[in-house]
Structure 1
Amino acid sequence: MVSLLGPAEIRELAARLGVAPTKKLGQNFVHDPNTVRRIVAAADLRPDDVVVEVGPGLGSLTLGLLPAARHVHAVEIDPVLAGALASTVAAHGGPPGAITVHHADALRIAARDLDPAPTALVANLPYNVAVPVVLQLLANLPTLRHGLVMVQKEVADRLVAGPGSKVYGIPSVKLAWYASARTAGRVPPSVFWPVPNVDSGLVAFTRREPPRADVPRERVFAVVDAAFAQRRKTLRAALAGWAGVRTGPRRPSRRLASTPAPVVRP
């Protein structure tokens, strides 16, 4: 049976490894076992799922994922954390061969790097790279069927926003191209070490076919980027640069400007 990490174990492990969480890497480690169980349950994993976890850190969520999936690919950019994760898993009852640790940047992971092929993304994502990581993995890993990510609450709201919402924007549109997404709950700051100054949110998604299979994604995303680049502009003005069209006040016709208004006689 896999045992989960509690607050004292998290701090002891970090001290032993000489790890001090950094804002640069967006490191906030979950230290509450009940929160880990809640995330794993919300991920709705099947026994044959192969999970890719980005930023496993000290292994809190990793240990919770192992009994729920066939295999876990843990992608960690910090060399010290990546080097220690397998030992942590073994020490807490993780099944042999159930995890592959990748010391890598998740934004550079390709399908060929992950064997067996991942079917689910479950991760506590660093706040500063959450949106790029989700979109990049959906683009690079076509076998991903579904996922659940924990991100800053503000980011979660943007990812699941629909047309007409005040926070509807580039992340909303691009995620909707790949998948249907929904809010799966709120996570308080108190379950993290160190304690962040914002709430977190869970976002669940299920991959679907793109809205227009006959239109290249890159072309659609270029329009999306242009459309939302300057939100205060009209759509026509925002897309002018992308379309190569000059905009500006229309100059009146010389003929109309010089022609006196007709006199209407009774």
Structure 2
Amino acid sequence: MRILICEDSALLREGLVRVLEDSGHTVVAAVPDAMHLEQTVAETAPELCILDVRLPPTWTDEGIRAALALRAVRPELPLLVLSQYVEERYAADLIGAKGGPLGYLLKDRVADVSDFLDAIGRIGAGATVLDPEVVAQLLSRRTRDERMLRLTDREATVLALIAEGRSNQAIAKTLFISEGSVEKHVTSLFQKLDLEPDESGNRRVLAALAHLEHGGPRPHDQGGAAPQSGMNR
């Protein structure tokens, strides 16, 4: 996969280049800031962009603003945002923006190379992958709407795991139930959230966004085992 990296830390930037290229990906550009990011994307045609949240010159929200700008001009481009800490407001802004595949991970996840590369592959293939810590903080607001209240406890638990990027197989292993049972819960919660089948097949993403927007319960709140990462196992 052709990947563009936008990261101000030279050490992390070069580390990402090495990890990605050693695993067979092609890094088409590795830049320290987002000043000419849209032009670089146009010239290099990446299949995925990795951006740090905080970039020069102010090290506040340049990375998020750059990601949102890319969403506006290239909505289909997969994005992976890396952050040192959970930036709740920035995460909510990016997740709420319409567009293609998305990842939001804490930089600590990069240290687990296999999980990081798994996330890269899944985002590139069209998945949404959210760090469990990001999900937990977004859910802390606990606002609900009528649709979320329609869900059973088990359906809410399954939905929370979907929001963390889990596949049906991974959800089944986490909750110690069959994949068939997971499929039934997923079908039911889609119906209760008024998510009709569509050609793009993105109901899992829409369900996850509804969950985050309205503050559904975390997995361990419903008696399920709390997931250890936002990656599929």
- TM-score tier (shorter): 0.3 to 0.5
Identify, as 1 or 2, the structure richer in helix: 2
Identify, as 1 or 2, the structure richer in strand: 1
Question: Which structure has the larger Rg over C-alpha atoms?
Answer: 1
Q: TM-score, length-normalised on structure 2?
A: 0.34
